[in-house]
Structure 1
Amino acid sequence: MRYLRNTLAAGILSIATFTAQAESLGFEGGGSASLTGIVPQSMAPYAAKEDVDLQVVLGQSLTKSVMKVAAGRLDLAVAPPPAITAMKAGAGPYKGSPEQAKKLSGNLRALFGFSASAIHAIVWADSGIESWKDLRGKRVFIGPPAGSAAGQSAGLIEQASGGLVAGTDYEGIKLPWGAALQGFQDGQFDVYMGFYPIGSQALNELSLQRPIRILSVNDEVIKSPGWTEFQRQQVTGLATIPANTYSGQANADQAITTGTTLMMVVTNAKLNDDTAYKLTKAFWNNIDAMKQANALMKQVDPSQPFTGVNVPLHPGAARYYQEQGIEIPADLM
């Protein structure tokens, strides 16, 4: 499963300096502007100090990356917990080969979890859309054709709006992430459900081009059983976008409450225990330095290392947490 590379393959970002003694591991993540890409990039230099060379490949479809890890064709990946749930059930993106997905899901082990992107429900400030109920009859980008985002967006909208359903009450548009942002700017749809770290420069630039409004989920919804069930089913957390985060936001005087995606770093059960230990140690022992280097990492909470984790911990990762005196939930052992 592990492999050595003396040269960089096209499209691969090698952050760590390769040495003859270093163990080289492939690590796939998402977009470079999201924490699904920022976490592996930030982790790589510190893994190198533990003699583990991470070959980071970004811009991947994480549901596919997870399958590659489970099959032993990739060492590490950032994984959306809902994808693991779907894999165990042979559903969603894995319905084409359900039995294989179910079988391979048992090979996955986690190193840690983290809170990733806040779900930004964005409309143009002059669109006339000021509440979730105003989405009725509108065209709404909810996420890419594959992956977990569309379900998370649709679920959040249903709860926040009091029951609006994609395909019935509004048109749910599915496009790749890059095409979606451009499509929103070109007026192809009315609402852009953007998944970004809080304070994303890309969203700040968008708001400066033309004023935006970000819809907030009210406290009554957050306290409801429906919201609790939505969080359980879609494996989401809660995020607050502070007031005045984006320069061109029309309602910047108020803090925005919304959902946030949860992610984890997974590997194969066959990964060497010492390597899993080194990787977990490299991440958490250097989390403060990573936050100083990239402010978007600030929402990663070291007091919650098992956020979103829904597969057993790798024994090497478990050893690190035990040494730190961190209690591990029984279902993750």
Structure 2
Amino acid sequence: MLRTVLMGATLALAPLGVAAQATLTAETSSPGGPAHYVSTTFAAALDSAGVATLQMTEGATLTNSVQAVAEGRVDVATAPLILPFLLQRGIGPYSGVGAEKGAELAAGIRALYFHAGAHQTFGYYDSKPVANIRKLDGLRIWNGPPRGAALTSGRAMIQLFAGLKDGEGYEGVQTPWPDAVSTVTGGAVDAWSFPSGLPGGREIQFSAAGAITIHDVPSDLLNSELGQQIVKAPGHAPFSVPVDVYRAAYEGNDITIVTDDDTFDSYSTAFAEIVQASMPEELVFDIVTAMLNAQERFEQGAPMGPYLNITFGDIDGVSQGACGAVQIKMHPGAIRAYEAQGHTIADCLRP
């Protein structure tokens, strides 16, 4: 993992005489994806506002990051919402924690704000095309890191497309995030299922090595019983963008977009930026206020900015994937910050 302190040029933009009020540790995923962009832009916004400096560890395994926040070893992390759900039950990657301890740890996690910029895609190189995305038998498919939310989502897409489970009909390939691009571009897999931004930084890197094709979820599969179960599963949210907009986002790259209608449809990975419930309320109020005031920075700092679904307005909980199976609460300081700017927060998100 790479640790960076986001200071330097961003601090130079802060008003003279303004010092960061707090130094906090933070963890996020590898560069190239929406979660990394949101976290690092968040850190830069806090620096510029003179609120806090985030000592950011990049390339972290978010499964570990969520547990580290819950245990008080890290102050801030970007969290796929399925992970607090699994931690609360002590299952999946947290089976070693156990149900009782997992519930205790999950109860101490609070959300600052939500985002859902990463949507699931399926792709391959045109030089080695997949003839039928519904027949993936015998292929080697990169479907996520060794564990965690992205792996769950990647496996779900292959099961939806072809009715196959990892290791039963196809070979799932997993690598840590920092090795994902080299694994794909090096020809070690036949296809991939990635959580992607719009545009996706990794997909652009893939296309630099040769033309690629990206598929959405065909309408009949998306609307099937299994498709709707996946869309509504803990940690997921629906994703739909006009295909012309989607193609325009990749203009200038050797990327073909395939859909069966006039929209690119899939499911997003729902995220929250999380802290411990014990973080001081006034500090959280200042942090979230700085985030809300930086909307333009988030949306204009990268091409994917307008498509991150960051909560800059009212929060109903359901649209964020947080008031169903996932029962995460917002920090009182965050709620105060939203309400101070005239926004409403659903009761289900209140501690």
State TM-score, norm by structure 1. 0.88
Q: 2:334 aligns with which of 317, 321, 332?
A: 317
After superposing the two structures, state which structure 1 stretch, 189-198 or 64-73, moved more.
189-198
Aligned AA for 1:12?
T
Q: For the Cα contact (< 8 Å) 1:26–1:56, is it kept in 2?
A: yes
Question: In the alignment, what sits opposite 2:108?
Answer: 107
Runs of 4+ with deviation above 3 angstroms: 16-21, 250-256, 303-306
For residues 251 and 322 of structure 1, the distance between their equivalents in structure 2, rounded to whole angstroms, comes to 40
CA root-mean-square deviation: 2.4
Aligned AA for 1:248?
D
Shift of residue 35, structure 1, vs aligned partner: 2.0
1:69-127: per-residue Cα shift (whole Å, max 9, x none)? Answer: 11112211101111111100101111112133222111101111101222231111132
Q: For the Cα contact (< 8 Å) 2:144–2:150, is it kept in 1?
A: yes
For residues 155 and 339 of structure 2, the distance between their equivalents in structure 1, rounded to whole angstroms, comes to 39
Question: In the alignment, what sits opposite 2:121?
Answer: 120
* Structure 2: runs of 5+ lacking an equivalent: none
For residues 169 and 40 of structure 2, the distance between their equivalents in structure 1, rounded to whole angstroms, comes to 40
Q: For the Cα contact (< 8 Å) 1:181–1:192, is it kept in 2?
A: no
Residues 315 and 248 from structure 1, CA distance in 2 versus in 1: closer, same or farther, beyond 3 angstroms?
Answer: same
For residues 160 and 301 of structure 2, the distance between their equivalents in structure 1, rounded to whole angstroms, comes to 36
For the pair 1:22 / 2:21, whether they are aligned, the reply is yes
Question: In the alignment, what sits opposite 2:132?
Answer: 131
1:238-291: per-residue Cα shift (whole Å, max 9, x none)? Answer: 244612543212447986432222211010011111111111111122111222
Aligned AA for 1:273?
E
SS at structure 1 position matched to 2:233: helix
Shift of residue 180, structure 1, vs aligned partner: 3.1
Residues 222 and 21 from structure 1, CA distance in 2 versus in 1: closer, same or farther, beyond 3 angstroms?
Answer: closer
Shift of residue 28, structure 1, vs aligned partner: 1.2
After superposing the two structures, state which structure 1 stretch, 41-50 or 85-94, moved more.
41-50
Tell me the percent identity.
22
Aligned AA for 1:170?
Y
SS at structure 2 position matched to 1:32: coil
Shift of residue 234, structure 1, vs aligned partner: 4.3
Shift of residue 211, structure 1, vs aligned partner: 1.3
Q: For the Cα contact (< 8 Å) 1:113–1:308, is it kept in 2?
A: no
Q: For the Cα contact (< 8 Å) 2:30–2:177, is it kept in 1?
A: no
After superposing the two structures, state which structure 1 stretch, 298-307 or 101-110, moved more.
298-307
Shift of residue 201, structure 1, vs aligned partner: 4.0
After superposing the two structures, state which structure 1 stretch, 235-244 or 263-272, moved more.
235-244
For residues 200 and 128 of structure 1, the distance between their equivalents in structure 2, rounded to whole angstroms, comes to 20
Shift of residue 224, structure 1, vs aligned partner: 2.7
Shift of residue 304, structure 1, vs aligned partner: 6.4
Aligned AA for 2:336?
R
For residues 91 and 70 of structure 2, the distance between their equivalents in structure 1, rounded to whole angstroms, comes to 16
Q: For the Cα contact (< 8 Å) 2:235–2:321, is it kept in 1?
A: yes
After superposing the two structures, state which structure 1 stretch, 150-159 or 265-274, moved more.
150-159
Aligned AA for 1:243?
R
For residues 263 and 20 of structure 2, the distance between their equivalents in structure 1, rounded to whole angstroms, comes to 49
Q: 2:5 aligns with which of 13, 17, 21?
A: 13
1:33-89: per-residue Cα shift (whole Å, max 9, x none)? Answer: 222221121122332315222222211111111111111122111011111111001
For residues 189 and 234 of structure 2, the distance between their equivalents in structure 1, rounded to whole angstroms, comes to 24
Question: In the alignment, what sits opposite 1:218?
Answer: 218
Count residues with an aligned counterpart.
323
Residues 175 and 45 from structure 1, CA distance in 2 versus in 1: closer, same or farther, beyond 3 angstroms?
Answer: closer
For the pair 1:331 / 2:348, whether they are aligned, the reply is yes
* Structure 1: runs of 5+ lacking an equivalent: 1-9
Aligned AA for 1:289?
R
For residues 296 and 339 of structure 2, the distance between their equivalents in structure 1, rounded to whole angstroms, comes to 21
Q: For the Cα contact (< 8 Å) 2:20–2:50, is it kept in 1?
A: no
Residues 268 and 224 from structure 1, CA distance in 2 versus in 1: closer, same or farther, beyond 3 angstroms?
Answer: same
For residues 132 and 342 of structure 2, the distance between their equivalents in structure 1, rounded to whole angstroms, comes to 46
Shift of residue 21, structure 1, vs aligned partner: 6.0
Question: In the alignment, what sits opposite 2:45?
Answer: 46
SS at structure 1 position matched to 2:206: helix
Q: For the Cα contact (< 8 Å) 2:22–2:52, is it kept in 1?
A: yes
SS at structure 1 position matched to 2:304: helix
Question: In the alignment, what sits opposite 1:291?
Answer: 299
Question: In the alignment, what sits opposite 1:4?
Answer: none
For the pair 1:308 / 2:309, whether they are aligned, the reply is no
SS at structure 2 position matched to 1:243: helix
Q: For the Cα contact (< 8 Å) 1:156–1:259, is it kept in 2?
A: no
For residues 108 and 46 of structure 1, the distance between their equivalents in structure 2, rounded to whole angstroms, comes to 23
Q: For the Cα contact (< 8 Å) 1:154–1:166, is it kept in 2?
A: yes
Residues 51 and 324 from structure 1, CA distance in 2 versus in 1: closer, same or farther, beyond 3 angstroms?
Answer: closer
After superposing the two structures, state which structure 1 stretch, 18-27 or 78-87, moved more.
18-27
State TM-score, norm by structure 2. 0.84
Aligned AA for 2:6?
S
Residues 223 and 206 from structure 1, CA distance in 2 versus in 1: closer, same or farther, beyond 3 angstroms?
Answer: same
Aligned AA for 2:3?
G
Shift of residue 233, structure 1, vs aligned partner: 2.1
After superposing the two structures, state which structure 1 stretch, 279-288 or 201-210, moved more.
201-210
Q: For the Cα contact (< 8 Å) 1:140–1:173, is it kept in 2?
A: yes
Question: In the alignment, what sits opposite 2:155?
Answer: 154
